Structure 1
Amino acid sequence: METPYGINLAVYLISTYFGDLVAKVCECLLRNGSLSFANILRSTELNRVQVKNSLLVLIQHNCVQAYVIQQEGGFGEAPKILTQYLALFDNIIHHLRFSKFLAIVSDDLGKECSDILEGLLQHGRLSEDQILDRYMDISNQNEAQDAIKENFRRLVGARYVERCPKPEPFLAPPSEEEVAAKKRRLGAKASKVQVLFQEPETIEQRVLAAAAPMDSIRFLLESFINDDNCMVDGERNEDNWMDGDKGRQNDQDLDMTTQAQKEKKVLWRVNFEEFVRRLRHKACVANVKGRLDEGTATVLSSILKATRSAETKVKMESSVPLSMDSILEEVIKTDKGRSMNVDRVRAALIQLGCQLPVIELDETFSIDLGAIIELAQLEEVESIVLKRYGREAYRMFRLLSKAGRPMETEKIADTTFVDKAETAKILLTLWKDDYLQMETLTANSGKETKYMVWKVNKDLLWIHVLDEMYHAALNLRLRLMREMEQEKEIILAPKGIQFEKRVDRLKKVRNVLESSLMKLVDATMLFRDF
């Protein structure tokens, strides 16, 4: 579920890039969840053309996904097929990270590939011909078409670019057989309790799974594909579409077929999932380097690089298992790894939490990435507490987070060597700002005594910290835009008027604001995407 300031930031970004009308439709979807075209009309009070054009823009830029559901008809009426529209919050926030994505591709594949990716980031979805034409228009060099196509193939091969999802996948409710199979997997005795506490699959997850192309064609460059549930050269195969499609409403609200699809072209877009994976790996390596040492970070980086293509999910809790020989082979490929021997690699694996076998056979080793991310999250929150509330509050927060259980005020004061009255004051401040949870307990030992206990609830705190980060990022963006407006004023000033000091000041302010925003973007990924 999106946080309040997260929604405000997303709406502001859409307004900045696409205008207030598009932002109004996007905000309606973000705040209300998936809606039909008619419900969007009622909620926004815009006319049909405005809503249709806004949805087209949002879908073109991968900020909204359409999907189809079956709605039961009234008495004696056949079921109706209804199109719903769902805002994709993460894809909207990714607009803040476009510069990072371009830097990754530039370092990995070169500037030519980065220029191609920039076109997809700007336009959302393009066919291969459109990508080629755009690159030829902006390039000053008369580069051969074969070279451009080869760079595009390199982007697809590295999984930075993927085929677009299905325009309107059908989202079927879970069948009775699927529900029964799930209960059988959980077991008859524990089914009720486990179902109650099991994290439910969200509508967004179900829609994205239904819309995603099959793995066999997601990164396939061939133009013609004929599969039961896939596109045929960018066009839906009507013969294999869901039964009852003829029952769709006659006054179809929105035709989501783009021009490229009309021309029977396969559409491509940026694969955000791959960039999030790369940034997650980078964050893990940076954390290990700062917390342990550079050699251990080199071993982790080598393992992640070797197993990247084998990963199937962004948020894999552990790396793909590798044998010791494979790890050594990858480590010595790096400049810093050439001087590392077997014993040094073993020591690094132990530091990373791997249990080494007593007798070496053909064992494999994997790294607990989830534990590394959790440590990085905790360090980030601890640094916030230290900067905002001081060192004594930092010691108390660190004590409670490591304890993992409630502690009373007197025990916290004795452990952190802080006066009891001052301890209570600091704990109350942290509680009021939602960094701690407090409970009042009553002890009946002859005389009724009340005392307070404190604890850190990480699940709730992480959401609160993320919302604060979105708030700070929004404020930075607003301040940055205001400074840029002032700079525009200076640039358009008549000749002869000197603004050297003012220009220097604005440049310094912009550098500070932009660097601070990038740090916040990294931090939000730590709590949201990783």
Structure 2
Amino acid sequence: MEFANVLIRKGRMSVPLIIKFTELKPRQVRESLLVLIQHNIAYYAESEERSRIVTYYEIDKEETLHRVLIPKVLQYSKLWFDREGEEVALSILTHGKQRITDLIGDAPVKSAQPGSRLNRAQLTKKMFTKMVKEKCLIAVRPSDSLAPVDRAMAEEKKETDKLTLPPTAAELANIRRTLGAQKGQEQSRTTIVGLKRTLDTVDGADGFDDGKRRKLTDGDLQIIEEVERDVFFKINFDRFIIRWRNMKIAGLYETRLNPTARKIMDSILSIAEERMINCKEDMSSSVNIMLLFNNLPTDVNLVDTLEFDPIDMGPNNTKPKPSECLEKYLQILEDDLLRILKKDAGRSGQYTIQLKAANKILKKNLIQDIVATRYGLPYVRIMNMLLDKGKLEEKQISKFSMMPVKDVREKLTTLCTFGVLNLQEVPKTNDRTPSRTFYLWEVVLPRAADSLSDNLYHAMGNLRQRRFVERARRSVLLEKCERTDVKANDALLNAAEKAELNKLNGVLEQLEIQELRLAEMVMTLRDF
């Protein structure tokens, strides 16, 4: 912990500087750097200084902040990819990065179910391949251990070295635009690094769904996808965050409309998810209505969940077809006040999701819940009023909210201190006299999200500190529990010690649950 704290606070440093500030032995420093790089938490960068090359190390702050989501990653790995998927995620998180051969070698070879032809290793291989195809696991290349800034500078230097003269500002800007476009194309490409196609016989022994395979000929050969054996993979936190964001977007319509609307939105987002790079995109790719109809879950009832005008039902009172009901559902979703689903104007039958607008709604709803829980509904009413009408003065807020000026002033000050509101001064004259100055209150959602994120991180730090304090209070008991004889026979603990140990486990469990809840809030405010 001390080692990582020094790198975070001091920035990138070489090994001699790390030894100086941490006061650790050189062997301990090198072993710590090896572990951090193995777990994708540290970067390194080589710099030529005079006649020698110096290696600098730094901490990847984004990867470090994502570590608090590990329990949630394991939970949804089991939900999406069964128990084998959870074991794959747990093994990769334990080792940092791992090859499929190493993981399968650790899996016991025995039947997962009585009478099943698939052994445990085959099931693990199947789920590993599925997680790679859905980009929940991504390949780790040697260049990924380099700092992104240094990697970008090296690519830029490689392009400038092709020029005979030093580049001008326009040429340098053009080079950077070209490199940025190439990086965007690389991220958005459909081919997956570490996944290859091979020919195999059609025997069904590998457990893959035959309906999803492409037959090469009428014979017994087909194209299958498998993971390369020598490629290391790591958990792709960004893909998990995208899926959680999509689940929250679909959940908005279950409360506003019905569960069928949620399943329709969930299907649209699932189809468009393949081309999503991160949560900062403005909109999703277009989804065809026929493709959506074919990918809806079988338990979706489009006909009976809608109400029809007797005129539309015809003379025999026959309800419309499911495809027509889907069109009506899409029209309802498009006309909803959230304005998240939008028809693609350029192509008929195509729909897109306005991700930027959806992210804004999710952040606003979370901030409203936090303000309502901490201060009450009148504060939320003031916040919503400013979001709706923009900048307002204190008297205008009092008039619109029908509250006394004294109460409004107190609530505005509280919300401003909490970080939700901003105050902007507009002087009438150059002397900035308070009596000749307009004081306008407003809600800037990105600033409010950043401010609340800082408060939530502070609360998470307090929970971590409380956990250390609880363990320190019972350090003697924990040392006794670590003894080999106590591990072999818990009868060596008396009743009071067992009760205290159960109490400690209960407190630690509650602290971890609260920390995970705060981590989910931070994810919504920071990553969406």
TM-score using structure 1 length: 0.71
Q: Quick check: 1:300 aligned with 2:259?
A: no
Q: Quick check: 1:44 aligned with 2:22?
A: yes
Report if the CA contact (8 A) 2:188-2:277 is conserved: no
Give, in whole Å, the separation in 2 of the partners of 1:392 and 1:26: 44
Could you tell me which residue of structure 1 aligns to residue 224 of structure 2? none
Could you tell me which residue of structure 1 aligns to residue 78 of structure 2? 106
Give, in whole Å, the separation in 1 of the partners of 2:296 and 2:360: 25
Alignment of 1:255-274 (within 5 A): 265-274=230-239
Q: How far 1:377 moved relative to its partner?
A: 0.7
Q: How far 1:101 moved relative to its partner?
A: 1.4
Tell me the alpha carbon deviations over residues 149-180 of structure 1, each in whole angstroms, 9 at most, x when there is no partner.
Answer: 33332332232222213255562533476952
Cα gap change, 1:333/1:35 in structure 2, threshold over 3 Å: closer, same or farther?
farther
TM-score using structure 2 length: 0.71
Number of residue pairs the alignment of both structures matches = 442
Could you tell me which residue of structure 2 aligns to residue 349 of structure 1? 334
Give, in whole Å, the separation in 1 of the partners of 2:344 and 2:63: 43
Structure 1 residue corresponding to 2:101, chosen from 129, 153, 156: 129
Bigger radius of gyration among the two: 2
Tell me the alpha carbon deviations over residues 247-281 of structure 1, each in whole angstroms, 9 at most, x when there is no partner.
Answer: xxxxxxxxxxxxxxxxx943222222221221121
Could you tell me which residue of structure 1 aligns to residue 134 of structure 2? 158
Structure 2 residue corresponding to 1:425, chosen from 410, 418, 443: 410
Could you tell me which residue of structure 2 aligns to residue 253 of structure 1? none
Q: How far 1:90 moved relative to its partner?
A: 2.4
Tell me the alpha carbon deviations over residues 103-161 of structure 1, each in whole angstroms, 9 at most, x when there is no partner.
Answer: 22222221122212211111112233321233339999994644443333233223222
Could you tell me which residue of structure 2 aligns to residue 497 of structure 1? 495
Structure 2 residue corresponding to 1:402, chosen from 388, 400, 409: 388
Which letter does structure 2 place at the counterpart of 1:395? Answer: R
Structure 2: 5+ residue runs without aligned partners? 161-165, 199-228, 306-324, 482-489
- Identity, % of aligned positions: 21
Give, in whole Å, the separation in 1 of the partners of 2:22 and 2:373: 42
Tell me the alpha carbon deviations over residues 342-388 of structure 1, each in whole angstroms, 9 at most, x when there is no partner.
Answer: 31232123325245589x97341101122111111111112222222
Match of 1:218, SS? coil
Q: How far 1:85 moved relative to its partner?
A: 2.4
Could you tell me which residue of structure 2 aligns to residue 380 of structure 1? 366
Match of 2:282, SS? coil
Structure 2 residue corresponding to 1:180, chosen from 161, 170, 175: 170
Q: Quick check: 1:65 aligned with 2:43?
A: yes
RMSD: 4.2
Match of 2:71, SS? helix
User: RCO higher in 1 or 2 (8 Å CA, sep ≥ 6)?
Assistant: 1
Could you tell me which residue of structure 1 aligns to residue 274 of structure 2? 309
Q: How far 1:52 moved relative to its partner?
A: 1.3
Structure 1 residue corresponding to 2:195, chosen from 211, 220, 224: 220
Tell me the alpha carbon deviations over residues 39-63 of structure 1, each in whole angstroms, 9 at most, x when there is no partner.
Answer: 4344434342222111111111111
Cα gap change, 1:37/1:505 in structure 2, threshold over 3 Å: closer, same or farther?
closer
Could you tell me which residue of structure 2 aligns to residue 529 of structure 1? 527
Report if the CA contact (8 A) 2:239-2:278 is conserved: no
Could you tell me which residue of structure 2 aligns to residue 453 of structure 1? 440
Structure 1: 5+ residue runs without aligned partners? 1-22, 187-194, 196-200, 224-263
Structure 2 residue corresponding to 1:463, chosen from 435, 450, 461: 450
Q: Quick check: 1:473 aligned with 2:460?
A: yes
Report if the CA contact (8 A) 2:449-2:526 is conserved: no
Match of 1:524, SS? helix
Give, in whole Å, the separation in 2 of the partners of 1:165 and 1:437: 44
Q: How far 1:68 moved relative to its partner?
A: 3.7
Match of 1:110, SS? helix
Give, in whole Å, the separation in 1 of the partners of 2:8 and 2:371: 31
Q: Quick check: 1:118 aligned with 2:90?
A: yes
Give, in whole Å, the separation in 2 of the partners of 1:265 and 1:219: 9
Structure 1 residue corresponding to 2:515, chosen from 514, 517, 523: 517
Give, in whole Å, the separation in 2 of the partners of 1:452 and 1:403: 15
Report if the CA contact (8 A) 1:166-1:212 is conserved: no
Q: How far 1:415 moved relative to its partner?
A: 1.1
Could you tell me which residue of structure 2 aligns to residue 5 of structure 1? none
Which letter does structure 2 place at the counterpart of 1:401? Answer: L
Match of 1:86, SS? strand
Report if the CA contact (8 A) 2:342-2:352 is conserved: no
